[in-house]
Amino acid sequence: MPPVGGDTLYADCARAYDALSATMKNLLDGLVAIHSAALPYGTKGVFAQETEARTMKIIVSEEAEKACPHPLVRTHPVTGRKALFVSPVYTVGIEGMTHAESAAILGFLYAHMTKDEFVYRHRWQPDMLTMWDNRCTLHFADGGYDGHLRVMHRTTVADDVPH
């Protein structure tokens, strides 16, 4: 554990969806968001530009540049709750909309989803374990530990196709 920083922020995307107006929900339901890992992991992405050594090897590839359509609002297969299913890192647009239209809606949603009322800040301690559900949660490492080692082990469980 680094002596400073390293918190992880988790945003509850189901609660964020629930808090939207009925009119906004009607607009969003049925929209298809386009997701791609190009921005972080593509051959011209953020990690491809890095020159500093990392504790974790980041592999960039053309495979990361593929686009995948997913519902913008996802129904959780276990709970049945609807949740926003977009990410500032991976969502690159909304199907059938111009870049400007997509950016306006997505920008609003990112600001809404990350309001304090929907976010939990986790302060790590040695030997802690956290689990979250990527189907209805955003997570973000807050940083602030430059120059210090932060070692974590992560396991990701494969999911079905979002619907």
Question: pLDDT per residue over 8-21, tens digit each?
Answer: 999 999 999 999 99
Query: What is the model's pLDDT at position 55?
Result: 61
How far is the CA of 63 from the CAs of 29, 67, 104, 126, in angstroms?
A: 29, 10, 28, 35
Query: What is the model's pLDDT at position 11?
Result: 97
- Domain at 8-141: CATH code: 3.60.130.10
Reduce the DSSP state of residue 13 to 3 states and report it. helix
The total of other beta-carbon atoms located within 10 Å of residue 26's CB is 10
User: d(Cα 94, Cα 89) in Å, to the nearest integer?
Assistant: 14
Instruction: Say what the pTM is.
Output: 0.84
> In this structure, what token pair is assigned to residue 82?
């609807």
CA-closest candidate to residue 140, choices 4, 6, 10:
10
Which residues of the chain are modeled with pLDDT < 70? 44-48, 50-51, 53-57, 163
pLDDT tens column, 98-124:
999 999 999 999 999 999 999 999 998
Query: What is the model's pLDDT at position 53?
Result: 66
47's enclosing H/E stretch is helix 46-49
Query: What is the model's pLDDT at position 126?
Result: 85
Burial 112-141 (b: 16+ CB within 10 A, else e): bbeeeebbeeeebeeeeeeeeeebbebebe
Burial 82-110 (b: 16+ CB within 10 A, else e): bbbbbbeebbbbbeebeeeebeebbeebb
